[in-house]
Amino acid sequence: MRGFFVVFEGIEGAGKSTLMHRLSRELERRGIPFKTTREPGGPRTAEAIREVILQRDLPIEPMTELFLLMASRYENTVKTIIPALEEGYIVISDRYRDSSVAYQGYGRGIPIEFIEELNEKATLGLKPDLVFIIDISVEEMLRRIESRGGEKNRMDSQEIDFYRRARRGYLLMARENPDRYVVLDGTMSEEKLIAKIMDIMRQKMKEKGVGYAL
């Protein structure tokens, strides 16, 4: 596919959204065609599924949640991501298939092979060209959530362990696939992070032969 597909991953509070926003501004300034999306979500139907998944008072089985995430991913893949890549856009997604491996797999304990099997179907086998894992410790995550006055400041130890496992999952995925994954220290300054992101994208896009000058 002609475009270039970049995904931001990481546990809550890592700063993915801020960095995606910054990256979008950098691309805009250079007149480079790009589209952003997020998961769960993206096209209308996937956003409707997102509302169900993120309803805090709705009791949901881990497996139900997984299937909903996959349904949302399929919608996003076939309606937004693949068409944009085929037209040559850079696509930037806030989370994609690895969120399910980290959260539902390492976090909730659903077998990783099963999740990857569903991921293959939900993405039609599409893998990002580049995944930035914005890494912070769970202690840092808790500090950030608290300072934002978030409702998660009463997180219990079980939930805290869930995030530790998810983080470990991300770091393992990165170690297994050093070509496509880059772990960035989320406590670095935004300026340093965006500079690194631009450098790495420049290099990877060149390798893939994507013709935009970053």
Give residue 161's Cα distance to chain centre.
20
Count of residues near ligand TYD by CB under 6 A: 12
Return all residues near 44 (Cβ < 8 A) that are at least 6 apart: none
- Judge whether 116 and 100 are in contact, CB under 8 Å: no
* R_g of the chain computed on alpha carbons: 17
Tell me the C-alpha distance between 183 and 169, whole Å. Answer: 12
Check residue 145 and give left, alpha or beta (phi > 0: left; psi -120 to 50: alpha): alpha
**Taking CB under 6 A as the rule, which mask of x and - marks residues 125-164 in contact with ligand TYD?**
----------------------------------------
State which residue, 16 or 210, has the beta carbon closest to ligand TYD.
16
Interface residue with ligand TYD among 40, 42, 105, 169 (CB under 6 A) is 40
DSSP 33: -
Shortest Cβ distance from residue 151 to ligand TYD (Å)?
12
Tell me whether residue 96 or residue 212 sits nearer to ligand TYD (CB atom): 96
Q: Which one of residues 37, 76, 77, 100 is an interface residue with ligand TYD (CB under 6 A)?
A: 100
Among 34, 103, 106, 132, binds ligand TYD (CB under 6 A): 103
Place of tokens 């850079």: 90
Q: Which of 9, 39, 75, 129 binds ligand TYD (CB under 6 A)?
A: 39
Binding residues (CB under 6 A) for ligand TYD: these are 12, 17, 39-40, 54, 69, 94-95, 99-100, 103-104
